[in-house]
Structure 1
Amino acid sequence: MTWPSWRDWLFSLKAFAAAMLALYIALACGLPRPYWAMTAVYVVANPLSGATVSKAFDRAFGTLLGAAGGVLLVSLFNGAPELLMLAIALWTGSFLYIALHGRTPRNYVFMLAGYTLPLLVLPGVDAPETIFELAVARSEEIILGILAAAIIGTTIFPRSLRSVVDGRIGAWLGDAGGWAREILLARGADPAAPVARQRLAADIAPLSALISQLSHDAGTRDIKPHVLELRGRFLFLLPLLSALADRMHALRLELGAFPPGLQALTERIAAWIGTPVEAADAAEPDRLRAGLAALPGPADGPLWTKLVWTSLVSRLSELIDLWEDCLTLRGRIGRQGAPQRWRPQLRHRPVVGEELHHDRGRMALAVASTVLATFLAGLLWIWSGWADGANAVAFVAIACCFFGGLDRPAPSMKFMLVWSAIAYAFTSLYLFVVLPRIQDFELLVLVLAPPFLLVGALIPRPELSLLTLLLAVNLAGDLGLQGRYSAEFASYTEGGIAIMAGLLFALVWTLVTRPFGEEWAARRLMRSGWADLAALASGARPFDHRALVSRTLDRLGQLMPRLAAMASPSPAALEGLAELRAGYNIIALQRDRRALPPEARAAIDATLRGVADFFGRCAADGERGAAPEALRGDIDRALRAVFALEEAGPRQAALDALVGLRRSLFPGVPGPAGPGFRHRDGDRPALASLAAE
């Protein structure tokens, strides 16, 4: 591990200054628990000023929501401890369920509201008449802490999100450009998308999280529309590259070798994509488009080969448009005061979708586990009569909320248990050896500086985020700094035992009720994808391109990290982009079948029924097998029926979709031949639409 940089030390100094400012004001105002203000600073502290402000708003709202809920529940169930405990458990589980629907830091509001209530209510449940004053004090101290963090973070050497966003975009474009060049230079050798490349879907999630914080950063408000547009194009670039690799492979399969003229042009496109932005020739995209338009297709051969050629040329044209849009948007994002209006090259349909995939079965299991753990721990506390057991129950709720969204919460809970114990032991040295000798605030600041500055300097490192959060919050909270020194060793020890008991209960409970891991979650993701395609093909789900690409790529983004953690992932899980292409073509067929004559429409309906049956069986069995030969026969019969039509518009769109569907389901099988697939005089296929992936 490298030593923290000067930026890390500067951030740590700012966070410590904000914590000491909040503590000083809380002490001066006579607030009952000043250490809550200090703790709040480290909870919201972030090297990026916009992220600090965003989290400060979220924490303030979550705290107020939890405090209001605490006052309400205590007033309703005063005198009925079991019912109160059940209400607290249901409150915690309900807000966890809402939080699990989020993919951005905004879900922190609901998670915080969920565990703030038991943390606030349970220690003071024996004195219900004080709950309102306690809720007000908690809110005041938390808001004081987050205001101190936000003010210092935005006024003293603020660090804007702009450079971070630009860096994330540059890294993603670099990886995506590397994959595009591999495809273009491979000459159709291997259409499969490696796991490392499909993992680009997961890399979009951090950018989505940053987008939610742009409005809170004065230096990035002007670029948010551009970042949203760019994110949409990122989402669409992945299936486009997958389709491009597939069409190049299909053409090589039909012709036996890649055409030299097309090879030269793909090499030029690859060179353009690999050119640094600052050295790029602005006229090169237009020259590449002209080269594509002048490229002669195969003069002779089956119509299938001509359709594959046309589809490939369409994909290359769309890649040029999409990549030029990405470069234009990135340039505008990197410039301060960039104009808002711009003219995209890819204009024929929207590419931004917001629909996400939620595994509500997993979410329900996490919520049920949290509710039962909190309720049962509460009943054990009530029936035992243990005075400090309230803290144990509160930490059960905190641990279950914090790690409820993980596939395997137990390792993180064990980590929390171990490091909370270490922090508690370390704090005892300060509390009973150092602090009794402190007489003024200035000396207190000096003795607190070494541990907090060291921990603060490590907060910017993502791999240490959980450790640093645990250390900072436990050090600040366990010290329990107040207006006068009143620490008692017996009380401190019993409080520590209660915290460890709560974390241990949550760990054991989770090991028993949630023994699953990444493989189980990955299988559920794959099955939901197959069920989605079956519903599209059967007509049970409304078809929407934007929803399909957003939902499927979100599912793929969740799947890729889990596959990386698995020892031997299923081969069926390694080509999620092919299934996305299948979904595009199913939607196109559902849309265009109505405009076709009865015979062709009947053939397409038979194909869609076969697709629905196939993916339905995959979802039911939990395994993706080979598509049946009968389904290939259905697709070929539909192709023959559509080939026989005279109308150009719906005929060409249906042909494009059938070609794409056949390629996604039978990538290694040559195209159909025989009667009905001969090229007719004057029958020149138009460029394939973007829907036909």
Structure 2
Amino acid sequence: MNFLTKSAFIFSLKTTLAAFLAFYLALELNLEKPTWSLTTVYVVSQIYTASTVSKSLFRLAGTVLGGVFIFLIYPSTVMYPVMFSLAVSCWVAVCLYLSLHDRTPKSYIFMLAGYSAAIMGFPDVTTPSDISYTVISRIEEVAVGIIISSLVHVLIFPVSMRSLLENSVNNWYQQAKKVCGSLLTQHQSADSPERDQILVQMANYPLNVEVLMTHCAYEANQVQRLVRLVSAQYQHLSYLVPTLTAIEKRLKLLAAENIQLPEEMRLSVTRFLAWLDDSAEENSESVTRQLEETQSIIQQRFLTNELGTEQSLLFTGLIERLQNFVRILTAYHGVEVRLSQLKRRRGKPEVMHRKKYVDEGMAALSSFTAFIATFVCCLLWIGTGWSSGSNAAMFAAVTCSFFATHDSPIGGMRIFMKGVVIAIAISIFYSMVIIPRAITFEALIICLSPALIFMGLIIANPATNFIGLIIATQLPGYIGFSHDFAPNTFATINAALSTTVGIVLSLVITLLIRNKRPSWIARRALRAGLRELLQLLGDIRLQKSTLLQRQQFIQRMLDRINIILPRNVVDPGINMTMENNLITELWLGANLFDFYGRYYQILQQAGVRTDPLFHEISLYLKRRLKNIHELPGGDVLRELERVLVQMEPLAKNNINLYMPFYFVFNIRLALFPAVRWSSSQGQWQLSGDVE
């Protein structure tokens, strides 16, 4: 692995320079623990300037919040160790719970507010009168570190995130084009693992792009305009995964039944592929018009019995999804055109944040784990009277907070433990052998520079970033720099033992309470989606649903899909395929609304009874909440068959009923993909499963 790149060297040198400048300024300002300023530099320093600035601001805000809390509770609780420990442990848990409700980098504010209170409050319990000075000093030390780090990274060879953000969105767009093109040009009888892998990668893009947008909002004005552009494009690209899977499903059905595309559809697909190759430059109006004309021809052939029922509906569905794809890409390109016509606005752009799915149960469980780990370490500290026992409680809070977002935190905690042990070993060597010889600040720079530069190179490499960051942030604290540069070896060893105990206890408690598989997280997201689908179904039946509700339902389901898909790949323990990950449920909800919500009056006038169908689908979804592998039963199929058989002649006599007929066919296709239409008998019959 290549560590010695130009960008890595520049980052390492900038960070080392910022660290020594911050340490020197903290010494000159006579701050209590100048080593905190040095540590803060390594905590907030990132390869990209914008992420350094944003993390610096988030860290300052979190530190201030934690300091204010400790300052407020100290007078009334510090004389009662158990009460004080309980208060701080509860604060850590509450802040972590709030942090887990935000999946952007801003969640760092509340997470830090939680464990920074423990870091500021626990060490000073033996001298409670100094708490005001301690809180102010910690905030000042952190402020010095983030100001120096931000200035160095902004002024010296700044690295913009513009290309990273542009490439992420462009890769998202290009992969969608690649998948769509391969679907229409390759044989669909077999699954394509490569295509499925691309779809999983596309499911990861929304979160990655949101993270980049959050950081880029702190860059220069020209990059802020890009954030506004990407924020709008992001909304359109998020619809690509379900659209592509819907295209794939219909093509597979056509291939399985050996149904050839009619001439007008072949021409439309050819025209679509030509547009797809150059969609950024070519106007979409002509391909949209051709798809609409083909749609009309298919409907007319259905009315005149030139096409079979299932063929007509499958062709209609394929054209409809291709039209969706055209609209998505057209909107994607149209955003840039519209923004380029606007005058450049000043100030930080407003990044759109839609309401995201939050697993309240998992957030509560993670917070409870952090509370138990912190409080248990506090009780151990109180019971033993260990002078350095505060380190155990502090690191229990830090460890549980750091890894609360992980499906299975144990792996990350082990790496954290490994990094801390390495930092302890290096710090003991430095405090016993190297540092005692450094009697001036210049000598200290000479002693520390090789290690800090090497740590910077490790941090700059994505593969070793995490372990390098752990070592670099823990090393100065264990050495325990003071104003006379005289480290206390005994204090270092004592603190190291206490830290190790805290991490081990938090790891064990997490293993007992919080350690979950990715498949467990995916199941919870799936059930949450099913509950929302049930709610939408009830609103549709009562005519309470709206287009806005439909849109919000789709957005929330897309968010859950992006959570489920990657976890199915990492941990396929629940055997959820591409058709069992809420994509089907998303289309089911949308088609139920389009069938009944849009055409309620027409269906009522035609005398189509829909209540039994909605009732059976509702019962099936309730059963599936208990068993996610539950398949729709014969009652649902019979009701679908009844509605479809009733609507087929009505649709042939009234073109206005064709689209509701098509939507109820889509419902059948979602629930029973293996059932085929036999036009000679007017019945549905079971065929081989093509999924």
If the length of structure 1 is used for normalisation, what is the TM-score? 0.88
Within 1, Cα distance between the matches of 2:388 and 2:185? 67
1:224 aligns with 2:227: yes
Is the CA contact (8 Å cut-off) linking 1:589 and 1:657 kept in structure 2? yes
Give the deviation of 1:248 after TM superposition.
3.2
Give the deviation of 1:250 after TM superposition.
4.3
1:25-174 aligned at under 5 Å gives the runs 25-174=25-174
Is the CA contact (8 Å cut-off) linking 2:12 and 2:460 kept in structure 1? no
Is the CA contact (8 Å cut-off) linking 1:595 and 1:650 kept in structure 2? no
Give the deviation of 1:22 after TM superposition.
0.8
Residue segments in structure 1 that go unaligned for 5+ positions in a row: 343-351, 678-693
Q: Which residue of 2 aligns with 1:318?
A: 324
* Alpha-carbon displacement from aligned partner over 1:175-219 (angstroms, at most 9, x marks no partner): 222211122223654689725414411222110111112221114
Matching residue's letter, 2:673: P
1:126 alignment partner, SS class:
coil
Is the CA contact (8 Å cut-off) linking 2:623 and 2:630 kept in structure 1? no
Structure 1 window deviating more from structure 2 (468-477 vs 289-298): it is 289-298
Give the deviation of 1:417 after TM superposition.
1.4
1:671 alignment partner, SS class:
strand
Q: Which residue of 2 aligns with 1:203?
A: 205
Q: Which residue of 2 aligns with 1:670?
A: 676
Within 2, Cα distance between the matches of 1:588 and 1:135? 58
Give the deviation of 1:614 after TM superposition.
1.3
Matching residue's letter, 2:496: G
Give the deviation of 1:450 after TM superposition.
1.4
Give the deviation of 1:537 after TM superposition.
1.9
Is the CA contact (8 Å cut-off) linking 2:34 and 2:482 kept in structure 1? yes
Q: Which residue of 2 aligns with 1:526?
A: 526
Matching residue's letter, 1:585: N
1:39-438 aligned at under 5 Å gives the runs 39-186=39-186, 189=189, 194-218=196-220, 219-252=222-255, 256-275=259-278, 281-283=281-283, 285-295=284-294, 296-297=297-298, 299=301, 300-329=306-335, 338-340=340-342, 354-438=354-438
Is the CA contact (8 Å cut-off) linking 1:603 and 1:637 kept in structure 2? no
* C-alpha RMSD of matched pairs (Å): 2.9
Matching residue's letter, 2:452: F
Distance 1:571 1:506, change over 3 A: closer
If the length of structure 2 is used for normalisation, what is the TM-score? 0.89
* Alpha-carbon displacement from aligned partner over 1:423-467 (angstroms, at most 9, x marks no partner): 111112122211111132223222222121122123233332321
Within 2, Cα distance between the matches of 1:590 and 1:373? 52
Within 2, Cα distance between the matches of 1:332 and 1:20? 47
Give the deviation of 1:611 after TM superposition.
1.7
Structure 1 window deviating more from structure 2 (464-473 vs 239-248): it is 239-248
Q: Which residue of 2 aligns with 1:553?
A: 558
Q: Which residue of 1 aligns with 2:591?
A: 585
Distance 1:341 1:323, change over 3 A: farther
Is the CA contact (8 Å cut-off) linking 1:240 and 1:315 kept in structure 2? yes
Within 2, Cα distance between the matches of 1:5 and 1:67? 40
Distance 1:672 1:630, change over 3 A: farther
Within 2, Cα distance between the matches of 1:213 and 1:619? 38
Distance 1:640 1:18, change over 3 A: same
Give the deviation of 1:268 after TM superposition.
4.2
Distance 1:254 1:563, change over 3 A: closer
Structure 1 window deviating more from structure 2 (255-264 vs 375-384): it is 255-264
Structure 1 window deviating more from structure 2 (103-112 vs 602-611): it is 602-611
Is the CA contact (8 Å cut-off) linking 1:581 and 1:664 kept in structure 2? yes
Within 1, Cα distance between the matches of 2:561 and 2:82? 43
Within 2, Cα distance between the matches of 1:654 and 1:417? 60
Matching residue's letter, 1:630: D
Within 2, Cα distance between the matches of 1:8 and 1:339? 39
Distance 1:596 1:232, change over 3 A: same
1:213 alignment partner, SS class:
helix
1:420-499 aligned at under 5 Å gives the runs 420-499=420-499
Give the deviation of 1:592 after TM superposition.
2.9
* Alpha-carbon displacement from aligned partner over 1:284-304 (angstroms, at most 9, x marks no partner): x34433443454538303344
Within 2, Cα distance between the matches of 1:606 and 1:86? 55
Give the deviation of 1:240 after TM superposition.
1.6
1:256 alignment partner, SS class:
coil
Matching residue's letter, 2:643: A
Is the CA contact (8 Å cut-off) linking 1:535 and 1:612 kept in structure 2? no
* Alpha-carbon displacement from aligned partner over 1:641-688 (angstroms, at most 9, x marks no partner): 4556689797455334212212211223223646889xxxxxxxxxxx
Give the deviation of 1:108 after TM superposition.
0.4
* Alpha-carbon displacement from aligned partner over 1:368-417 (angstroms, at most 9, x marks no partner): 11111211221121122111111111111111111122222122212211
1:626 to 619, 628, 631: 631
Q: Which residue of 1 aligns with 2:538?
A: 538
The higher-RCO structure (CA 8 Å, 6+ apart) is 1
Is the CA contact (8 Å cut-off) linking 1:118 and 1:394 kept in structure 2? yes
Is the CA contact (8 Å cut-off) linking 2:374 and 2:393 kept in structure 1? yes
